[in-house]
Structure 1
Amino acid sequence: MKTQITQSGTRAAKAGLSAILVALLSACVNYAGIHSDKQMAQPQQFETATSLPAESGHWPAADWANQFGDAQLKALIDEALKGSPTIAQARARVAGAQAYTETAKASTMPSVSADYSLKREQYSANTLIPPPYGGAWETENSGLLSASYDLDLWGKNREALKASVSDLQASRADAEVVKLTLTTTIARTYNQLARLYVLHDIAQQEVDRRAEIDRITAGRIATGLDTEVERKTAQANLATARSALAALDGSILTTRYQLAALMGEGPDRGLAIARPALGVGDEVRLPDNLPADLVGRRPDIVAARWRVDAITHEVKEAKAEFYPDINLSAAIGLDAFGFGRFLTAASRTANAGPAIHLPIFDAGELRAQLKGRYADFDDAVATYNQTLITALSEAATQLAQIRSSDTQLADAQTAQQAARDADNLAITQYKGGLTNQLTVLNADMTALQADQAVANLLMDRRDQQIALASALGGGYVDTSSDTTRRADSAAQSHPVVAAR
């Protein structure tokens, strides 16, 4: 009989507890009707087979700049990665995100604290404390050891931890974006320096050619074949060529200063940079399965994906706010007047118990917060989708420009050879009195433009090759998923009650 009564009492207690819990939950504010239907785009849903064909190529390696065979470029990049303030800024942001993650992790664990206070106080004789303490000065010693633990039944703290871990991974990917942007900018600026040197060579040759024309013109004036008009024209063209050469000298100097700034150094560092010796680089062939694999090789896409993941956990955290919080706390310590009785058993004090917080009416604050989190989620998804589209477009654009440059280069080199032949022939005829100065100047200008066109195409092609390596991720490979799964398993060490 006693067993039956006990079982009946237990069932009644459970039923009563369930009824109380149901009543509490029904009294809570709710998030009915608040949701989002936005989804992250998949690379396979975009048509890329024609623009980004599978060519059995290789993804860029982390040392992709070495393909151009210039040891100075490698040294400049290494120096920049060590001393650039932009890299230091990125590392500081990662360290800050790591600290926030550790703070969020602490909220999932029990907390223990110890407090001691010593105070001298005169107590009122007309309140709760009777004489001899009331109206007298007393020294109160108080020492307390306390502990608390949030049961986190709805997973709010765990979702906050997961969100912070995802933010940390996004920060790490952002740091890789900064690194890739810096190295790419240095390589492209260095290539620009190479361009300026080649154009400087062409400009110097043009100065020499215009000086030769001036000398020939002077001789023709002596024989009566030309007049002072041709002489002044030749002198004006020579001065113009020298001015163009001086302008290139200034551009070379400022480009060196730009490289020094990118490296995190003063402008004098740029003066020590020698003339680039860049080679052609590797054959350009796209890797297979490019659209699908690109999402794990572009750090900006990886960062955008982690931000979507972080906001997803923040939405779950916001939903958990709608449910009751239960916090367990306990404390034990000593409290006594004076010093003599402080360490006695009679001075012991202790307390323990749960604290429950139940949101019943908040004038729509929690719903507004959840709507804000969903708006953030929609924004993060749209940002990810746009980042993916931009990445595919950049890769296709750089490939198209490289193929176009290759096609243009063959015709430009043919035109260059023909223009040089025509220029040399015109000079020879001018010396022999068989043609006039205008013909010589026209041929010379055509040859100059042809030389510049070939030089610019070669430099543009290398610049596009650098940009393609960047568009393909510059050797970055996302390895953050395994780390995050381990962090998630640590955060899930307690069962989660789903908030539906």
Structure 2
Amino acid sequence: MINHSRPGSRVSVWVASIAAAAVAIGLAGCVNYAGIGSDQQIAPPAQFETKESLPAEGGQWPAMDWATQFGDPQLPALIDEALKGNPTIEQARARIEKASSYVGSSKSALYPNVTGSYAWTRQRYTENGIVPPPFAGTWQSENTVLASASWDLDLWGKNRERLRQAVSQEKVADAEAEQVRISLAASVASAYNRLAQLYALRDIQAREVKNREDIGHITDGRVSAGLDTNVERQTAYGETATSRSSVSDLDGQITTVRYQLGALLGGGPDRGLSIAKPSLGEGASVALPDNLPADLLSRRPDIVAAYWQVDAATHDVKEAKAEFFPDVNLSAAAGLDAFGWGRFLTAGSRQLQLAPAIHLPIFDAGALRAQLKGRYADFDYDVATYNQTLINALSDVATQVSQIHSADRQLVDAQQALDAQTKAYQLALVRYKSGLNQQLQVLNADDNRLAAETAVVNLEMDRRNTQIGLIKALGGGFEASRAGLATNAQTPIPAPSDGTAPHAE
């Protein structure tokens, strides 16, 4: 009887038969993951009470160019320089490239693998072996060319889950790189604000040197008039020297911060010395955006990174579950093999090989179950990390806002105190010139005025530093959808189910 069926039909039937056999063996397998699972889920932002601490105020989210609001063109230029040349940015990019390579290698497992080879062998065959005459006892050259292909059918989705896990890990690396960028920009701005603060304090101390010199001149006149003694003169000289020492101390701190800025910019310490004196303004008014807790999920790269880490863990779990089912691999090879060159390219030198294979875990002493338990533990850890990251983010924003409001209230009182202490000092100085006050009263009044002026400057600079912290806490201009990292985190990721694989009784 002649078989008229086409080769393609026979191959289809053959593949279907192997798949059916794999299913049958899988249903009869002994190794299973019954009883292993997790009930952990990422927390939705609505779970946390935030209305009182984070009220809707109709504010705007930070823009990518948030540094321009402080009115100093040098600051955004320094941030841009840091983002281009800092080694931490290069490290983040390298992590992205590494994650991308995992995606490529995981994707390759979904497709057939084809290889080709050629070999030439020169060999003398024994007269007493299995090689028959006329080749026994002679030298022969053997030529072999072979093309082979193999394909993992991935019936249970193991390779597909590995690819999805790699894609999620790449998104984790992308989000972490954004977090590095935001942190670096905020660090440059904070260091620059610290430089501005030190310069403002130095200006105060420089003026204080002048005040103490003026008091010293008055004291010299009073000593000449017999109204003061050399004790007051030396006291005045000592106070002036102390003020000069404070200026020198601030000069040293300024140089140190310049070195820090040079390192943040990815340059040497001399780069920091070339930075001009800051001229920062107050910045924009502080008002929180509406719907902040929910929208914060896509505005903070650390939350986005934590989300994709949980997503990667779910695919890790699914991949580990697929290990309990049989692997079905198809392989085939075709080529030519012959002694010498004369018959190498003839039909008689053809060689063909087909090798379908099924691998099923039957007994592994609990290795696969232990592996799955480990993957679930990783999933639980990543869920807990996400939840903690969200809690920390909400607390971070609330803390920065609270500190800004506190600084605003303190500044009102501190400015009033400075005004009063300045008037008290001026009156004491006039009375000292007139011989109505002792030197100690003038010095005390000047100390009080100096402390009040320093307090105002420190409060203003600390408030701006906290404002920079709030910008960072609100994501520093990051937006997940724009970065290609959008998530569906409004709905928590369900925990991988506690499935039960059928097993033989």
TM-score by length of structure 2 reads 0.91
Alpha-carbon shift at residue 127 of structure 1 (Å): 2.9
Residue 82 of structure 1 corresponds to: 84
Residues 198-213 of structure 1: pairs in structure 2 closer than 5 A:
198-213=200-215
CA deviations on 1:349-395 (whole Å, 9 max, x unpaired) are 11123111111111111111111111111111111111000000000
Aligned length, in residue pairs: 475
Residue 290 of structure 1 corresponds to: 292
Residues 80-479 of structure 1: pairs in structure 2 closer than 5 A:
80-479=82-481
CA deviations on 1:326-347 (whole Å, 9 max, x unpaired) are 0111111111111111111111
Alpha-carbon shift at residue 137 of structure 1 (Å): 2.0
Letter in 1 for 2:343: R
Q: Contact 2:156 / 2:322 at 8 angstroms: preserved in 1?
A: yes
Alpha-carbon shift at residue 64 of structure 1 (Å): 0.7
Q: Provide structure 2 residue ranges, at least 5 long, that are not aligned to the other structure.
A: 1-15, 488-498
Q: Contact 1:28 / 1:358 at 8 angstroms: preserved in 2?
A: no
Q: Take 2:391 and 2:265, find their aligned partners in 1: how far apart are those partners? A: 31
Q: Take 1:232 and 1:248, find their aligned partners in 2: how far apart are those partners? A: 25
Residues 481 and 220 from structure 1, CA distance in 2 versus in 1: closer, same or farther, beyond 3 angstroms? Answer: closer
Q: Take 1:248 and 1:70, find their aligned partners in 2: how far apart are those partners? A: 22
Alpha-carbon shift at residue 16 of structure 1 (Å): 12
Which fold has the larger relative contact order, with Cα–Cα distance below 8 Å and residues 6 or more apart in sequence? 2
Alpha-carbon shift at residue 479 of structure 1 (Å): 2.2
Q: Take 1:93 and 1:15, find their aligned partners in 2: how far apart are those partners? A: 44
Residue 3 of structure 2 corresponds to: none
Alpha-carbon shift at residue 483 of structure 1 (Å): 7.1
Residues 58 and 24 from structure 1, CA distance in 2 versus in 1: closer, same or farther, beyond 3 angstroms? Answer: closer
Q: Contact 1:169 / 1:480 at 8 angstroms: preserved in 2?
A: no
Q: Take 1:82 and 1:265, find their aligned partners in 2: how far apart are those partners? A: 11
Residue 38 of structure 2 corresponds to: 36
Q: Contact 1:319 / 1:499 at 8 angstroms: preserved in 2?
A: no
Alpha-carbon shift at residue 126 of structure 1 (Å): 2.9
Q: Secondary structure at the match of 1:27?
A: coil
Q: Contact 2:64 / 2:476 at 8 angstroms: preserved in 1?
A: yes
TM-score by length of structure 1 reads 0.92
Alpha-carbon shift at residue 17 of structure 1 (Å): 8.7
Q: CA RMSD for the aligned pairs?
A: 1.9
Alpha-carbon shift at residue 499 of structure 1 (Å): 8.5
Moved more, 372-381 or 230-239: 230-239
Q: Contact 2:480 / 2:486 at 8 angstroms: preserved in 1?
A: no
Q: Secondary structure at the match of 2:34?
A: coil
Q: Secondary structure at the match of 2:449?
A: helix
Q: Take 2:83 and 2:481, find their aligned partners in 1: how far apart are those partners? A: 21
CA deviations on 1:93-144 (whole Å, 9 max, x unpaired) are 1011111111100111111111111111223333322222233221111111
Q: Contact 2:25 / 2:360 at 8 angstroms: preserved in 1?
A: no
Letter in 1 for 2:419: Q
Q: Contact 2:35 / 2:500 at 8 angstroms: preserved in 1?
A: no
Q: Secondary structure at the match of 1:82?
A: helix
Q: Contact 2:25 / 2:326 at 8 angstroms: preserved in 1?
A: no
Q: Provide structure 1 residue ranges, at least 5 long, that are not aligned to the other structure.
A: 1-13, 486-497
Q: Secondary structure at the match of 2:96?
A: helix
Q: Percent identity?
A: 59
Q: Take 1:125 and 1:60, find their aligned partners in 2: how far apart are those partners? A: 86
Q: Take 1:170 and 1:267, find their aligned partners in 2: how far apart are those partners? A: 33
Q: Take 2:66 and 2:500, find their aligned partners in 1: how far apart are those partners? A: 48
Q: Secondary structure at the match of 2:365?
A: coil
Alpha-carbon shift at residue 223 of structure 1 (Å): 1.3
